[in-house]
Structure 1
Amino acid sequence: MVQMYLSGMEDVFAGEEVAALKAQVLSAKSVVVTSHRSPDGDAIGSSLALKHMFSAMGVPCAVVMPDAYAKFLHWMPGHEEVRFHDAEPEAASALVSSAEVLFCLDYNAPSRAGGLMDAVNQACANAKSSVVMIDHHQEPEDFADIMLSDSSTGSTCELIYRLLQAWEMQGALDSDLASCLYCGLITDTGSFRFSSVQPSSHDMASALLATGMNHSRIHSLIYDAYRLEQVQLTAYALSQKLQVFPEHRCAVISLSQDELLHYNAQKGDTEGLVNRALSIEGINFAAFMKEDDGRVKISLRSRGSFSVRDVAAEHFNGGGHHNAAGGACEGESLHSVLDRMVALIPTWSDDLQYDD
């Protein structure tokens, strides 16, 4: 396959290849949209938004996720049609590997697709398939035919909105499509407080609000839907499992599988814990880690100049953004990963001695 990479230094949606992609989608017999393992609001929001765009074009489309996502995202229009690899691995893999046009949203390497990785690689190797990556993470692998990558953008939903504009489909922007885009926009920009927010982010929000979508309801469904056990888990994590290293301006929270089971933790219950650690006065780097199906999953956050993306890539098999990243350590114990983190923290201390 001929590889084409469009750099974030230019308008990635201005090229002829993007216009040709619309024609290709219109004529395709099978179009499939995928996203990364443990889908978040931006992953599922961008995927369902793209599905709504294709529906407006009269193009059937399957959305296939590696695994389930948090219940607080189930309100999104189109959720009931999503297929999951962990629930039907053979059928899901067949859809992805045989797609005439395969979209890979919010991830920049096949390894991020979890159980769908092999199927994505098969599609990449299939001369009859066209693979399109749309993503905002740094340092993408060169795996797709069309790579629409812009790491300066705060969310993949913003890139889908730019695709809608490039395809001159503003007329398709109804409240359902807008609701999906708004979900990814607010979750990946921290409700517009992260440094990745640009004037165009607010311009997009204005256009979405003009459709009549209920932004207040969406925010409530995402951020005000805590179960009692989730609140109790948060209280336990902050009161019993939070380690603060004020001399190094770091904080770490860790939760074992037994602790998660004790509070009947569900997908999404620990989201935001790392941000609570970062919100402590004087803290510039925060980490949250938990045991998760034979691996230790890690979320990293920072404020200012310290790059958690570099930390994730160098030490925890991960990646992401400058101030928000993650990783996973397969086959390691929580104790081992936590000890490694604590041992590394003093080596970063000099780089963390600053005020915003």
Structure 2
Amino acid sequence: MKDLEQKIEILKGYITDTPKHIAILAHTNPDGDAIGSSLAWAKVLRSLGHDVQCLVPNKYPGFLSWMPGIRDVIIAKEENERAIGAVDNADIIFFLDFNRIDRLENLSRHIIDNRKAVRILIDHHLDPPTDEYTLVFSDPTSCSTSYLVYQITERLTGLDVFDREAAESLYVGIMTDTGNFSFSFLTPGLFRAVAGLIEKGINIPDINSKVYNSYSEGRVRLLGYVLLDKMRMIENGRAAYIALKENEMRRFDFQVGDSEGFVNYPLSIASVQMSAMFIETHKFIRISFRSRGDVDVSLFASKYFNGGGHKNASGGKSYDTIEKTVARFEQAVTEFFHPAKMPE
């Protein structure tokens, strides 16, 4: 991250004088990194005397419900007036683990209307719209927003502000966004940070079990159904996809977060270089892309599905039917893997 020390000094000017009302916002369908970084950053800001509220647009996955402090997170879909009040009254709004204000559903308008609030971004996704923020901490080479929070805190207050609970939150964010340390952007500095979290007393086997071994029966049966009946291989096995309709998910008592990680399973097949997951909702088709090696699904998502993200992990949306979306994906994969064969 360029000019980190200079940005830390600017940040100090906003948060080290008088106590303020601060809102921390994470993205729709919040994952482990969104929740983990938010809870840990709230701990830092509260240590400086601020009134802090964490908000998410909709419910977090059930496998995160054990996390310390998560019950204080405001879920806008369930407590709309309280969420709006927190945004309207905020002196500072932090945006964690996403960089598009329009991803906040009905909260977006209230954020735009709050002209007094300082907007500060902490994120690791590509191409942030920097003109929307007062201060930007953006590093697309970082494995997670939680690791960015660790780095910022180290320079801002020192790491003594992190107790075991904050360390657990950061570890969950780092662990889940790196696929349990199997994705890219793994650096010596990251593992030194993890060592520091362990020194705070976290129990890694216990955290892993809570995150990965606390699924519902319906989720496990849905996974079996997805792999047996829904996974499709194309492009001579170089790409695979899974498309789930709402009525199929209801068969398995689908809960928020139940499909988390499904998109990664096809990549365990030796030939597969790109995997996609299509989830039908009542508003649009939510798409996740994963890849390995030099296959850039951020470029793919941006070109074909108005999306983006990281080289090996990205997402997009489609407002077509799931059938039309899948057909468009199959055509796009052919073009992506064989650009020279396509007509001008």
TM-score for both structures, normalised by structure 1: 0.91
Per the alignment, residue 177 of structure 1 pairs with: 166
How big is the shift at 1:317?
A: 2.5
User: Are 1:284 and 2:276 matched, yes or no?
Assistant: no
Which letter maps to 2:318?
Answer: C
Q: Deviations over 1:96-129 (max 9, x none)?
A: 1331011000111112223322223223xx1x21
User: Per-residue displacement from partner, 1:223-260 (whole Å, max 9, x unpaired)?
Assistant: 11121111110011110011012526000111100000
Please say if residues 301 and 323 of structure 1, whose CA atoms lie closer than 8 Å, have aligned partners that are also in contact. Answer: yes
CA distance in 2, matches of 1:163, 1:350: 43
Q: Is the 8 A contact 1:28 1:101 kept in 2?
A: no
Preserved contact between residue 219 and residue 254 of structure 2 (Cα < 8 Å): yes
Alignment pair present for 1:24 and 2:14: yes
Segments of 5+ residues of structure 2 without an aligned counterpart are 340-344
Give the corresponding residue for 2:326.
Answer: 338
Q: Answer yes or no: is the 8 Å Cα contact 2:58–2:77 preserved in 1.
A: yes
**1:53 aligned onto 2:47:** no
Q: How does 1:115-134 map to 2 (within 5 A)?
A: 115-123=106-114, 126=115, 128-134=116-122
Q: Is the 8 A contact 1:43 1:106 kept in 2?
A: yes
Deviation at 1:192, TM superposition (A): 1.2
Determine the C-alpha separation between the residues in 1 that align with 2:151 and 2:137: 11
TM, length-normalised to structure 2: 0.94
Contact kept, 8 Å, 1:278 with 1:285, in 2: the verdict is yes
Deviation for aligned residue 1:88:
2.1
Pick aligned residue for 2:70 from 48, 71, 79: 79
CA distance in 2, matches of 1:67, 1:239: 30
- Counterpart contact for 2:55–2:76, Cα < 8 Å: yes
Runs of 4+ in 1 over 6 A off after TM superposition: none
From the superposition, tell whether residues 227 and 215 of structure 1 become closer, same or farther in structure 2 (CA, over 3 Å).
same
Aligned partner of 2:342 in structure 1 is none
Which structure 1 residue ranges, 5 or more long, are not aligned?
1-7, 352-356
Task: Tell whether the 8 Å contact from 1:308 to 1:324 is kept in structure 2 after alignment.
Answer: yes
In structure 2, the residue corresponding to 1:231 is in which secondary structure? helix
Does the aligned pair in 2 maintain the 1:36–1:114 contact within 8 Å? no
Query: In structure 2, how many angstroms separate the alpha carbons of the residues matched to 1:115 and 1:277?
Result: 35
What code does the residue aligned with 1:195 have? S
In 2, the alpha carbon distance for the partners of 1:248 and 1:71 equals 33
2:290 to 287, 293, 301: 301
Shift of 1:350: 3.6
Number of the residue aligned with 2:54: 63
Does residue 80 of structure 2 align to residue 92 of structure 1? no
Q: Aligned partners of 1:318, 1:122: CA distance in 2, in Å?
A: 26
Give the number of equivalent residue pairs. 337
8 Å contact 2:23–2:94 — kept in the other structure?
A: yes
Local SS of the residue matching 1:61: strand
Assess if the C-alpha contact under 8 Å between 1:94 and 1:119 holds in 2: no
Letter in 2 for 1:184: G
1:322 aligns to 2:311 (yes or no): yes
Deviates most, 50-59 or 264-273: 50-59
Q: Give me the whole-angstrom Cα distance separating, in 2, the residues matched to 1:90 and 1:273.
A: 34
**1:23 Cα offset (Å):** 4.3
Listed one character per residue, the Cα deviations across residues 185-211 of structure 1 (whole Å, up to 9, x for unaligned) are 001111111111111110110000001
* Displacement after TM superposition at 1:77 (Å): 1.0
Q: Between 145-154 and 22-31, report the one with greater CA deviation.
A: 22-31
In the alignment, the residues of structure 2 paired with residue 161 and residue 11 of structure 1 have an alpha-carbon distance, to the nearest angstrom, of 17
CA contact (8 A) 2:15 2:48 kept: no
DSSP-derived class of the 2:257 partner: coil
Q: Distance in 1 between matches of 2:111 and 2:129?
A: 13
2:201 corresponding residue in structure 1: 212
> Is the 1:287–1:301 contact (alpha carbons within 8 Å) kept by the matching residues of 2?
yes
Name the amino acid aligned to 1:87: E
SS in 2 for 1:269: coil
Task: Please tell me the root mean square deviation across aligned C-alpha atoms, in Å.
Answer: 1.5
Paired residues of 1:179 and 1:213 also in contact (CA < 8 A) = yes
Distance (Å, rounded) in 1 between the aligned partners of 2:157 and 2:267? 41
Q: Distance in 2 between matches of 1:97 and 1:197?
A: 38
Q: Secondary structure at the match of 1:182?
A: helix
**Equivalent residue number for residue 190 of structure 1:** 179
Q: Partner letter of residue 18 of structure 1?
A: I
Shift of 1:169: 2.6
Q: Which position in structure 1 is the counterpart of 2:260?
A: 271
Range with greater deviation from structure 2 (19-28 or 337-346): 19-28
User: Match for 2:149: what amino acid?
Assistant: I
Q: Distance in 2 between matches of 1:215 and 1:290?
A: 31
